Amino acid sequence: MTGELSFQDQGSVLHCHGCGPDNASGLQIKSYWEDAGAVARWKPEPHHCGGSRDILNGGIIASLIDCHSLNLAIAHAYRAESRPIGSSPRIAYVTANINIDYLKPTPIHEPVELRATISRIEGRKTWVRCSLSAAGQICATGEVLGVRVM
Amino acid sequence: MTGELSFQDQGSVLHCHGCGPDNASGLQIKSYWEDAGAVARWKPEPHHCGGSRDILNGGIIASLIDCHSLNLAIAHAYRAESRPIGSSPRIAYVTANINIDYLKPTPIHEPVELRATISRIEGRKTWVRCSLSAAGQICATGEVLGVRVM
């Protein structure tokens, strides 16, 4: 059932280090519809640590928020055209800006959960808000501006 | 000569995925003094790509800017105390905010150059501006707010 596949496994993105299913060395996050937005859950490896071995690296957090947010923008664009994700012509977005507040240390030994919602769309631009939580607490929030590649 | 070692190889950070010399699976960037700021040069691997195999991933760019900027904050703090980097008691910073503008696609087949300068210091907070360039063009700029861990 296509509806149960992640955006990425439906073909939203192929090669990307953060979310491409074809990238064996990447983070391979998987994003799914949930209500009006998207959710992803991901388990860090020990080498994804920050300055302390117990916390998740801020750059990895940025990658997760960036990729999950752009995948929502892409999935939303396919849905707006009433087309399956990954169908031709392919829809691609690039990140124009990312702004992340790191609210508290993110424990590395817990799965993280990403929740994204679209906050605004203007022409080719889509703004997505995304939170990252672990152990039931929001550890980081971000806004990503994606621009559709025409 | 200690002065020729990178901040990281002097012990600014040990385990971090972006810059820790002890993290065999990390990016292992190396930051050096240059004028009043810091410079780092780094060569991407093919799997660090974005949605296209020809461009560098935005999350990797965020990691590079984050780590290089915090390393400058750390090195500056040691210098302000007239102590060698890595000496005891150790100085650590965490990222509170990162804001990055992606100005143009960053080619993945070229080395990237990071240049960071401190723009403001208030108590435990240090703001660092950082640019990332490749093939002689600035592809991304960012501001990182680092907070000293006491």
* Contact call for residues B21 and B9 (beta carbons, < 8 A): yes
Please give the pLDDT value at position B4: 82
Please give the pLDDT value at position B36: 86
**This model's pTM is above 0.95:** yes
Q: What is the mean pLDDT of residues A116-144?
A: 98
- Which residue has tokens 């939580």? A133
Going across the sheet that includes A125-134, the strands are A31-34, A37-42, A112-122, A125-134, A137-149, A92-102, B92-102, B137-149, B125-134, B112-122, B37-42, B31-34
Nearest CA to B140 out of B70, B30, B60 is that of B60
- Which residue has tokens 């150059």? B113
CA distance A89 to chain B (A): 15
Closest CB to A49 among B15, B24, B93: B15
Please give the pLDDT value at position A1: 39
- Give the span between the Cα atoms of B43 and A16, in whole angstroms: 17
Counting residues of chain A whose pLDDT is more than 70, the rounded percentage is 98
| Prediction ipTM score | 0.96
- Give the span between the Cα atoms of A67 and A13, in whole angstroms: 9
Tell which of B8, B66, B90, B128 to mutate to test the A interface (max A CBs under 10 Å).
B66
Please give the pLDDT value at position B3: 53
CA distance B143 to chain A (A): 9
Minimal-distance CA residue of chain A relative to B149: A51
SS3 A83: coil
- Which residue has tokens 């929740």? A115
